[in-house]
Amino acid sequence: ASAPTSSQELAIPNDFIGCIIGRQGSKINEIRQVSGAHIKIASATDGSAMRQVTITGSPTSISVAQYLINALEMAKYTMQAASSAATVDLNMGFSQSTPTASTAATSMAVLAATTPAPTTINVHSPSTLSAIQNPHYAIPVSSLLGMKSLPVLAVHPAAASSLTQGLSPYTAKMTTSGVKKSERQKFAPY
DNA sequence: CACCCTA
């Protein structure tokens, strides 16, 4: 108990758990490594189409893990919304959640870009840790749900400018229709 | 579209 670890549990629908785990667990393992948190996904809950996910680690690790999971979840949610956009249109506020999703996905790339090694994300890299575990901002879980802009973006103005370039084609394509297949791969770079 | 990992 030398490390200030805590734990957080959240329920993920069965439809989303596949996206979060990824093929052969590639995505969840990536999340485990980049967040430094222990993530346990229980077997399918009988009766409720939910998988119990337990995240254990430092508060920061938990925040990062939850952020990544939320980003993937939101990406899938946006995709499903686009499928049934003919019925629900954008009145549910997806016009706001959509750019947030792209920001979240790109933030992962920012975290990855912070590491010197392009192949695998090294959690023990000092540069990565200083970026994630900066004591100046403790990421409250509540802000993750309301994700407006990630503090990381404020710390990396250069990265933010490159983000703007990457977001431009997104905004251009978000014309209520025509959002179907190729876009979702950009949402899930893992 | 599904992806099923690790304790």
| pLDDT recorded at residue A84 | 64
Check whether residue A91 has its CB closer than 7 Å to nucleic acid strand B: no
Check whether residue A25 has its CB closer than 7 Å to nucleic acid strand B: yes
Check whether residue A104 has its CB closer than 7 Å to nucleic acid strand B: no
Q: Which amino acid is at A56?
A: T
Rounded CA separation A123/A106 (Å):
18
Check whether residue A84 has its CB closer than 7 Å to nucleic acid strand B: no
Q: In which residue are the tokens 């407006």 written?
A: A148
| pLDDT recorded at residue A44 | 81
CA of A22 to C1' of B5 (A): 8
CA of A50 to C1' of B2 (A): 17
Return the C-alpha torsion angle A167, A170, A172, A173, nearest 10.
180
Check whether residue A24 has its CB closer than 7 Å to nucleic acid strand B: yes
Give the phi and the psi of residue A188 in degrees, each rounded to 5: -120, 80
Instruction: Give pLDDT tens digits for A125-167.
Output: 444 444 444 444 444 444 444 444 444 444 444 444 444 444 4
Which nucleotides along chain B are within 7 A of a protein C-beta?
1-7
Parallel, antiparallel or unpaired: strands A6-13 and A50-57? antiparallel
* Below-70 pLDDT ranges, chain A: 1-3, 79-80, 83-190
| pLDDT recorded at residue A62 | 92
**Tokens encoding A116:** 């010197």
* CATH code of the domain occupying A6-83: 3.30.1370.10
Rounded CA separation A87/A95 (Å):
15
| pLDDT recorded at residue A86 | 53
For A134, the 3-state DSSP assignment is coil
